[in-house]
Structure 1
Amino acid sequence: MSKPKIALVAGGNSGEYEISIQGAHVLSGNIDAGLFEVYPIIIRESDWYYTSAEKERIPVDKNDFSVLTPKGKVNFDLAFITIHGTPGEDGKLQGYFDLLRIPYTTSGQLACALTFNKFFCNRMVSSFGLKTAHSIKLIKDVTIDIKDVLESVGLPVFVKPNKGGSSLGTSRVDSGDQLLSAIVSAFEHDDEVMIEEMIKGTEVTTGVFRYNGIITSLPVTEIVSKSDSAFFDYIAKYKGLSEEITPARISGAMTLEVQRLARLVYEKLELRGVVRIDFIITEEGPYFLEANITPGMSQASIIPQQARAAGYSFQEFLTMIIREALK
């Protein structure tokens, strides 16, 4: 019997293009070649292609998401999406694959669109009874009254693009005179900006996935940023300026609570695949930060660390994710 053909879809249109490519390289070396045929597919705006073993770029036929190789036409059984940002994290690519009836490893179109919109996601998660930071949303080209913003949210705050990942364009603001420049910076990455009160506490994250109908939480990781930004920003994530401690230095009871809340979010938002869900732990309990639909899979990424801590080899873990998506 022929092996399922997996399109490993990487790249994207955001500033996280290179991170996605790095993650795809790691995945390509860890997906079980004895079980699956892997085809790296790169997407960059309208340029979609497969790079053959001979380094030939073969364009993707977008009518049916196929490639024509010297050995014949290849139709894919599954898309393993490892794009951060648009179009792989915001639901656009998922909608395309839904139309073609090609299964994929991430959450569905609606869930991706919701979690990609931080402001709306926080509102939804808050309705489930979880704690979230107070925030407001600004829209580009709409007049901003800095005084009103400060009165509504206070200081310190985080100013971030409402739709995006890896903390690109995100700033910590400690004084009113920093706020406008931070807003301008965030608007360079999105037409909507979220201003969110800063919650002081211990930042933690846990991966969640479903296999054989059971939703499982991976071990909790504590994140200690060593960058000047004092939060897990883009530089800390990908330049080695963060300490990631697995298991997190929290009580057993708090670990179970974080994992329970993560599973609750996963279930209520109807998420699929492996999702990384972030929290801040305070004296009042865990505050939900965000859900990462396509968590990083590079050497510096957390999910591979958590999978190993849970007793899975990375290859075994990826096989579970692929088999679940193929059902």
Structure 2
Amino acid sequence: MKTKVALVTGGYTGEAEVSFKSAAFVEEQLDKEKYEVYPITITLDTWFHVTEAGIKVSVNRENFSLDIDGHIITFDVAFIILHGSPGEDGRLQGYFDMIGLPYTSCDMLTSALTMNKAYTKAIIADIQDLHVAKSVLLFETHRKEAADMVQRGLTLPYFVKPNAGGSSIGMSKVKELSALQVALDTAFEAANTGCQVLVEEFVTGREFSQGIFRNVQGELIVLPATEVRTTREFFDFEAKYVAGLTEEITPADLTTAQQERASRIIRDIYVRLNCKGMVRVDFFLETNTDKFYFIEINTIPGQTAQSFIPQQVRAFGMKESDFYAELIDVAISPAPKLQK
């Protein structure tokens, strides 16, 4: 009997467009002899599946089922490939926990925590050899005095970003104080990000992104790193999704010592945050010091053919179809003895 997979995509933010592309790639890779795949789109207004005949079928939210021509379809697992809210911030995970449906991502608490950049940094800050940029966390109540708080606490240049956003939406690099207020307003007003803003001192260095997942045997597998080189001021939304603006080198040119240090830190981050499934950690290696500076963790990383994780899976010598099958098997299998 085939495993019935709900491939959950869409979302409430501007990242929905990326989610659809990621889900299409995952669906293409999944073995149709083994899996019966049902793409499920979630929007603010409705949850639905479109049948092969083009008929839009609403999801029964009592048990996340579909009624297709009188046949009730229930699922063995939810493959969450929804970037941003509600797939990356723990909302869907909490719902799936309540109805007893296994899923491929981190749990509700970890998802909610890691969506909050400042809180995540606070939890992992004491990991050996891990550094975090000096920062100021601003809430809506700070908005009138935000610029003054930043100037008192930090040194230019700054990164200004929504504290709970993704895909670099609402993010700015500020090199002059005259640009600070506009950057703060942009970040505060980014949709569905909670009206919190994180401002960090800029770290100069090489930028990397590296995936990690736990296999069915309970082993943590760190994928080869990708180095990101962009012609933009930083790795913003356009750099991520507009062809030709960024060079991505997988596997990255790192020394053996750098690779071992990055792998150890990333494993420690995964364990400290109680992650599940695949996640991606973004970091800098600071110029001159070679210190590892944490940028952020992504618990629902992009999955287009050009995305970092598929690149790294291929560099690891694994097929994407086998990788996604592994994630599904881990989600629906009894928990193995975990290994670090």
Corresponding position: 1:262 with 2:266: yes
Contact 1:220/1:259 (8 A) holds in 2: no
- Structure 1 SS opposite 2:318: coil
> Counterpart in 1 of 2:108?
109
What TM-score, normalized to structure 2? 0.93
Counterpart among 276, 283, 292 of residue 279 in structure 1: 283
Shift of 1:71: 5.8
- Structure 2 SS opposite 1:203: strand
Distance 2:147 2:85 in 1: 30
Contact 2:124/2:269 (8 A) holds in 1: yes
Corresponding position: 1:149 with 2:150: yes
Shift of 1:164: 1.2
> Counterpart in 1 of 2:159?
158
Distance 1:239 1:264 in 2: 33
Contact 1:156/1:175 (8 A) holds in 2: yes
Distance 1:314 1:300 in 2: 12
Contact 1:238/1:300 (8 A) holds in 2: no
Corresponding position: 1:214 with 2:219: yes
Counterpart among 224, 234, 237 of residue 234 in structure 1: 237
Distance 1:248 1:291 in 2: 18
What TM-score, normalized to structure 1? 0.97
Corresponding position: 1:301 with 2:307: yes
What amino acid sits opposite 1:309 in the alignment?
Answer: A
- Structure 2 SS opposite 1:61: coil
Counterpart among 276, 288, 294 of residue 288 in structure 1: 294
Moved more, 303-312 or 256-265: 256-265
Percent of counterpart pairs with the same letter?
Answer: 39
Moved more, 12-21 or 71-80: 71-80
For residues 154-201 of structure 1, what are the alpha-carbon distances to aligned partners after superposition, in whole Å with 9 as ceiling and x for unaligned?
100100000011000000000111000000000111300000111110
Contact 1:202/1:280 (8 A) holds in 2: yes
For residues 122-164 of structure 1, what are the alpha-carbon distances to aligned partners after superposition, in whole Å with 9 as ceiling and x for unaligned?
1111033421111111112433152331131110010000001
Cα RMSD of the aligned pairs, angstroms, is: 1.1
How does 1:165-180 map onto structure 2 within 5 Å? Answer: 165-180=166-181
Contact 2:305/2:311 (8 A) holds in 1: no
Please, which runs of 5 or more residues in structure 1 have no aligned partner?
A: none
Greater than 4 Å deviation, 4+ residue runs: none
Contact 1:204/1:220 (8 A) holds in 2: yes
Corresponding position: 1:97 with 2:100: no
How does 1:119-158 map onto structure 2 within 5 Å? Answer: 119-129=118-128, 130-142=130-142, 143-158=144-159
> Counterpart in 1 of 2:338?
none
Contact 1:237/1:300 (8 A) holds in 2: no
What amino acid sits opposite 2:137 in the alignment?
Answer: K
Shift of 1:300: 2.6
Cα distance 1:5–1:145, how it changes in 2: closer, same or farther (>3 A)? closer
Number of aligned residues = 324
Shift of 1:298: 1.4
> Counterpart in 1 of 2:61?
62
Distance 1:64 1:217 in 2: 35
- Structure 2 SS opposite 1:53: coil
Corresponding position: 1:18 with 2:17: yes
- Structure 2 SS opposite 1:287: strand
> Counterpart in 1 of 2:252?
248
